[in-house]
Amino acid sequence: MKDDLMYINGEWIGKELEKLEVVNPANGQVVGTVPIGGEDEANQAIASAHAAFQTWSQTTAYERAMYLKRLNDLILKNQEELAQVMTLEMGKPIRESRGEAASSATYIEWYAEEGKRIYGETVPSHIANKRMQVWKRPVGVVAAITPWNFPLAMLTRKMGPALAAGCTIVIKPSGESPLTAVKLVELCEEAGFPKGVINLVTGSSSKIGNAIMENEKVQKVTFTGSTEVGKLLIRQSADQVKRLSMELGGHAPIIILDDANVDAAVKGVLASKFRNAGQTCVCGNRIYVQAGIHDVFLEKFTTAVDQLKVGDGTNENVDIGPLINQSSVDKVADQVADALSKGATLVTGGRELTEEGGTFYAPTVISGVDSSMVIMQEETFGPVAPVQKFETIEEAIRLANDTKYGLAAYVFTESVAKGTLLIEQLNFGIVGWNDGMPSAAQVPFGGMKESGLGREGGHEGLEAFLESQYVSIGMD
């Protein structure tokens, strides 16, 4: 694997650069290195993407689909290797990594086809001797800045539509998990994409980020990460009015009504809360349970949580891997301590697992929480499930919406009427109704409020890489 190099204009470069060590959070061992690139490398990559855009944007959607389908096949063929790299560099259980590799391929496959449906429009004119049309044009060079928690899926969710639309791309993966991106770009090379269409720059986030934001050749920035960094990029984008897609933080409420199927709710909440050790933007962070079902839910849920196996994600039977680093463990521990000091009850877990050797935290349930506690206000990004009892649906709606975030929410009820009326009041971009894992390639993913701008996935995810060009044709 070219894990000490980056990819610009069809060449693997950066041998002479200082290296960044990538550390396995399960045991602290270095699993690879990438070059520490900065402004120069970012600008080279942008220049290469800009040159390639002149020809790639002129290819047909059918030709672009051919490359994307080859890439889809290669991802599936290399599913196991991609999964192993992911687990080694960021810790998620190997079964989840395999699932991520498979779902990552769906973003490439789906957009290979969707790119053939960039239709534009013919609009009826109000003047007899005029014709009005809307043409669709690729936006230009795209910079994709991706997070460590889904090192493959967040990349293909951006690359699939960008490349299908006719854009070229500069990828900047997270410093915590860049090796999966390196492996993916190797597969892109094998798929035969023309040089410059896909470029990869690793290294200093601030230097590369600044170069991206200052370079006029970058027309569009697509970012997944924290709301804090997202706001910085939004500010930086103003000078050149760069197009933006922002998938930012979340603080998802889960609302369980009295009439919910309790076993289905336990299963859904486990999936939502504990996938990737709770390190997902869409994971349930605040669990509101109606009084009539609260005790039975808490008991069954706690029994299920106690069965989760914590350990090195490379072990086949592990459910919960390490957190990405020690500061994540400290943040989780602080949130739990804050909640307990304000009157919450520890039901299970509630401690760092130092004996495991990496950065592990026990799957935890706390009950009796309320809005005064930090855990009910801020993203946790860890395996802690805080449970709060509520009486009325109005109360649940008020509590759920009382946040600056608006990414995902979850509702568990068997009543179509109650579910529908409830969801109509929830200010969140994604709602899982009796479903703890709603993401898919063909549907929009993204947030309201401070959780982001725009959507990825579905036809909206392709629109994000297109400009509408209105053409008015005089017929005199």
**Residues near ligand SIN (CB under 6 A):** 149-150, 153, 224, 247, 280-282, 439
Q: What's the min distance (Å) between Cβ of 156 and ligand SIN?
A: 11
Q: What's the min distance (Å) between Cβ of 472 and ligand SIN?
A: 41
Q: What's the distance, Cα to Cα, between the start and end of the chain in Å?
A: 62
Q: What whole-number distance in Å separates Cα of residue 122 and Cα of residue 472? A: 10
What residue has token string 């929410």? 409
Q: What's the min distance (Å) between Cβ of 370 and ligand SIN?
A: 26
Q: What's the min distance (Å) between Cβ of 107 and ligand SIN?
A: 10
Q: What's the min distance (Å) between Cβ of 31 and ligand SIN?
A: 22
Q: What's the min distance (Å) between Cβ of 439 and ligand SIN?
A: 3
> Backbone dihedral region of 166: left (phi > 0), alpha (psi from -120 to 50 degrees) or beta?
left
Six-digit token string for 366 = 């706390």
Catalytic residue list: 247, 281
For ligand SIN, which is the closer residue by CB, 320 or 353? Answer: 320
- Longest pairwise C-alpha distance within the chain: 82
For ligand SIN, which is the closer residue by CB, 27 or 439? Answer: 439
For ligand SIN, which is the closer residue by CB, 149 or 314? Answer: 149
For ligand SIN, which is the closer residue by CB, 282 or 287? Answer: 282
SS3 per-residue string spanning 363-387? CEEEECCCCCCHHHCCCCCCCEEEE
For ligand SIN, which is the closer residue by CB, 99 or 368? Answer: 99
For ligand SIN, which is the closer residue by CB, 224 or 227? Answer: 224
What are 292-295's contacts with CB under 8 Å, separation 24+? 292/258, 293/256, 293/257, 293/258, 293/260, 293/262, 294/387, 294/389
**Angle (deg, nearest 10), helices 179-191 and 153-165:** 30
The DSSP letter of residue 203 is B
Which of 408, 401, 414, 403 lies closest to 443, judged by CA? 408
| Geometric angle at alpha carbon 224, from 219 and 229, rounded to 5° | 85
